[in-house]
């Protein structure tokens, strides 16, 4: 079955301040959508709100994945339904090894009674780690503790590959990656492209999109998607910045923080 993810009129606030001011977006299976936009325009807030981060209160709109109401679900239920977020700043969890974390996450996604066998899990994890050119010792280290910036990002992609989500959100997965790691991570994403999987990729740089070709590019300002286009839009932004978009739309302050 082909996947369909729909965001309709989504508004969200934090501590009484509205950050998302009506987001509309439809992602079909097989599609890669990139979201770009200046700092502080609501991109990470969108990612967090979609995953059900408790700090963000959704006040209006709907979100569905294959017809299921995502906003009604708890965070773990969203993950089980197939939602995945690679965070801009992954958390460190001392005391929990990476492999224990990965196995619990996989089993949570698979559901009770359908747990993965230890042998199969280890085989899969080792295989994907090899694809991502990760040192096997990362399986036994505490989750993200002392990982370098690039190691954290690679580890997020490892999670994605093992969890096989239906809707993948990557928030600045390219930040902190060296040139070789960028290529490896992009290969990992490309290998996961499938008819039953959609991608929402938040990035500041065309560089990532040289490796992962998006079908659509959206620009976020003031907590809204203010412009959409194809890959050429990202190329123009890389060359010319955001001033022309702001001028075209009569926007003076693109952030959502003030107002």
Ligand X SMILES: Nc1ncnc2c1ncn2[C@@H]1O[C@H](COP(=O)(O)OP(=O)(O)OP(=O)(O)O)[C@@H](O)[C@H]1O
Residues that bind Mg ion (CB under 5 A): 43-44, 88
- The residues near 123 (Cβ < 8 Å, ≥ 6 apart) are none
- The residues near 143 (Cβ < 8 Å, ≥ 6 apart) are 91, 92, 93, 96, 97, 98, 101, 155
Residue 222 near ligand X by CB under 6 A: no
Half-sphere exposure of 123 (CA within 13 A, CB side): 5
Residue 14 near ligand X by CB under 6 A: yes
Among 55, 120, 123, 140, indicate the residue that binds ligand X (CB under 6 A): 55
The span from the CA of 151 to the CA of 251, in Å, is 38
CB of 204 to Mg ion, least distance (A): 9
CB of 61 to ligand X, least distance (A): 16
- The residues near 240 (Cβ < 8 Å, ≥ 6 apart) are none
The total of other beta-carbon atoms located within 10 Å of residue 140's CB is: 10
Residue 185 near ligand X by CB under 6 A: no
Residue 90 near ligand X by CB under 6 A: no
Among 7, 10, 12, 19, indicate the residue that binds ligand X (CB under 6 A): 19
Stretch that binds ligand X, among 42-50, 102-110, 131-139, 146-154 (CB under 6 A): 42-50
Judged by the rule CB under 6 A, the positions of this chain that interact with ligand X are 14, 19, 37, 39-45, 55, 88, 255-257
């Amino acid at each position: 079955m082909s996947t369909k993810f729909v965001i309709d009129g989504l508004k969200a606030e934090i501590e009484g301040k509205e950050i998302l001011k009506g987001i509309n977006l439809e992602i079909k299976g097989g599609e890669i959508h990139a979201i770009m936009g200046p700092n502080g325009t609501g991109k990470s807030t969108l990612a967090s709100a979609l995953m059900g981060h408790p700090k963000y209160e959704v006040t209006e709109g709907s979100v569905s994945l294959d017809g299921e109401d995502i906003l009604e679900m708890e965070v773990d239920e969203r993950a089980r339904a197939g939602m995945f977020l690679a965070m801009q700043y992954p958390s460190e969890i001392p005391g929990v090894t990476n492999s224990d974390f990965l196995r619990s996450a996989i089993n949570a996604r698979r559901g009770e009674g359908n747990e993965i066998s230890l042998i199969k899990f280890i085989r899969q994890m080792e295989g994907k780690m090899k694809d991502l050119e990760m040192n096997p010792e990362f399986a036994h280290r505490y989750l993200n503790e002392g990982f370098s910036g690039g190691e954290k990002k690679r580890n997020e992609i490892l999670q994605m590959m093992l969890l096989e989500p239906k809707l993948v959100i990557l928030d600045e997965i390219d930040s902190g990656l060296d040139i070789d790691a960028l290529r490896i991570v992009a290969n990992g994403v490309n290998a996961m492209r499938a008819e039953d999987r959609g991608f929402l990729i938040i990035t500041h740089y065309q560089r990532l999109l040289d490796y992962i070709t998006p079908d659509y590019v959206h620009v976020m300002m003031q907590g809204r998607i203010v412009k959409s286009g194809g890959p050429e839009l990202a190329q123009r932004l890389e060359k010319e910045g955001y001033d022309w978009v702001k001028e075209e739309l009569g926007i003076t302050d693109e952030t959502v923080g003030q107002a």
